[in-house]
Amino acid sequence: MQEPQQRQAGLQPWQQGIVFLLACTAIVSRRPDAIFHAQFFAEDGRVWFADAYRLGWWSPLFQAHTGYFQTLPRLGAALALLVPFALAPLVLNLVAIAVQALPVNLLLSSRSAACGSLRFRTLLACVYLALPNCAELSSRITSSQWLLALSAFLVLVAAWPMDVAGWLFDLSILLLCGLTGPFCFFLLPVALILAWKHREPKQWSRAALLSAACLVQAWGLLVVDPSGRSNYVLGASPQLFTRILAGHVYIGALLGGNGLATHPSRGLFLFLACVALAGTALVTGCFVKSAAEMKLFLAFSAILFAASLISPTGYQPAGITAWANLAAIPGIRYWFFPTLAFAWSIAWFLRSRSVALKSLSAVLLVIMCFGIVRDWNQPAYKDMHFADYAARFAAAPAGTAVSIPENPEGWTIQLFKH
């Protein structure tokens, strides 16, 4: 690619820096309390920070959680050890925000030119930042593995880096993602397809790295923590799948989080069935007509969605099947990739030569604006008075056992003061 084309296809380094700051600002604007009233949430405090404080930063890296090694939040907790305890949640949230902003920079890099023009990729980046029905992923390091997986996918489909720094960056993202959760199992086929397609020996290095990560995660799942994955009664049914797909994925992408998936009305179910068929037809049409990069993303998202429904994890209420529980929860991590795939498919049709498809895309994007506005401000976490507990912890004598409440309500962090 010639130099003028490179400038047109991507942003300059100083522009990338500005874009990163703007992306972080947009993320913080959706949940300002992540910065201005930072608190631990779930595993952020009870697992990642507590393990790092108790064992040091190195040993927890070799401990599996829910069956997998979780390197990203473990490293975030290691960084949090370097600051006063009162600032530890802020450090974890800042890491999460940086990871959440990274896909924007990757999309606007000249290396992603194969995904479309700079204007089109800017639209994709804006849709990603404003995506409705994704509150669980915002500014939370525990959920950052899903966003890191998106960055790893974008690295895989990007053009090969022109310098050593770019090559090291790619390997770092892939290694970090490969050692954080199960996503390496789903990224490896993408890497193998691309390596086979390009027929270049250097492409196989990415596949080799992800293969090694798969072996490590398989060891964690089968040997280190074989009981880490919960075995829930799924309660799967075509009706529930239709409700989840239409309510949480397709309508969720357009209108934001909603409770339609659990509404008992038969008439509403018929409407949801029509939405499921129409939405799937739209995504299928995009898959058939789009370039390889979009095809791979849609396939990757569909497989992740299927795996999420086959083997969900979480905290299951007694007497409720896994799918019934999932149907009742909008905005969770499991809806992120299929929702983004649907939203990006809508954006892709905006470039169609068909006036009808282009008009349909424009109408759906306008409707999505309602969902964006509706879901932009994400609820702040309940005030657990972390600052007061942090002050008591700082003043406590060494050896004191301290119990600190955190979100969600009922969770606590157990620490023994050093």
Is residue 1 situated within a structural domain? no
Positions of the chain with pLDDT lower than 70, given as ranges: 1-8, 228-230, 314-316
Task: Return the structure tokens found at 72.
Answer: 């990203």
List C-alpha distances in Å: 75 to 138, 176, 179, 225.
19, 10, 11, 20
What is the tens place of the pLDDT at every residue in 387-396?
999 999 888 8
- Cut 0.95: pTM above it: no
H or E segment to which residue 239 belongs:
helix 238-243
For residue range 54-100, what is the model confidence (pLDDT) as tens digits?
999 899 999 988 889 999 999 999 999 999 999 999 999 999 999 99
Same domain, yes or no: 272 and 210 = no
Neighbours of 68 (CB within 10 A): 25
Same domain, 393 and 414: yes
Residues 242 and 174 in one domain: no
Residues 123 and 238 both lie in one domain: no
Domain assignment of residue 121, yes or no: yes
With respect to residue 167, please indicate whether it lies within any of the assigned structural domains. yes
**Could you tell me how far CA 366 lies from the centroid of its own chain?**
24
**417 and 359 share a domain?**
no
- For 394-401, which contacts have Cβ atoms below 8 Å and span 24 or more sequence positions? 394/84, 394/85, 394/86
Question: Could you tell me if 125 and 261 lie in one domain?
Answer: no
Distance between CA atoms of residues 225 and 222, nearest Å: 6
Residues 49 and 91 in one domain: yes
Rounded to whole angstroms, how far apart are CA atoms 74 and 88?
Answer: 13
Q: What is the pLDDT of residue 230?
A: 66
Residue 164, in any domain of the structure? yes
Distances (CA, A) of 122 to 6, 28, 173: 16, 19, 22
Q: How many residues does the structure list for the chain? A: 418
Domain assignment present for residue 139? The answer is: yes
Residue 76 in domain: yes
Domain assignment present for 288: yes
Shared domain check, 325 and 358: yes
Give every CB contact of residue 84 below 8 A, 6+ residues apart in sequence. 390, 394
Are residues 246 and 316 both part of a single domain? yes
How many domains would you assign to the chain? 2
Residue 2, in any domain of the structure: no
Long-range contacts from 18-23, C-beta under 8 angstroms, 24+ separation = 19/104, 19/105, 19/108, 20/101, 20/102, 20/104, 20/105, 23/100, 23/101, 23/104, 23/105, 23/125, 23/129
What is the domain range of residue 249? 233-376
- The reply to whether 222 and 353 lie within a common domain is no
Q: What local confidence, expressed as pLDDT, does residue 6 receive?
A: 42
Could you tell me if 114 and 183 lie in one domain? yes
Q: Kindly state whether residues 269 and 364 are assigned to the same domain.
A: yes
| Distances from the Cα of 256 to the Cα of 132, 133, 378, 387, angstroms | 5, 5, 11, 33
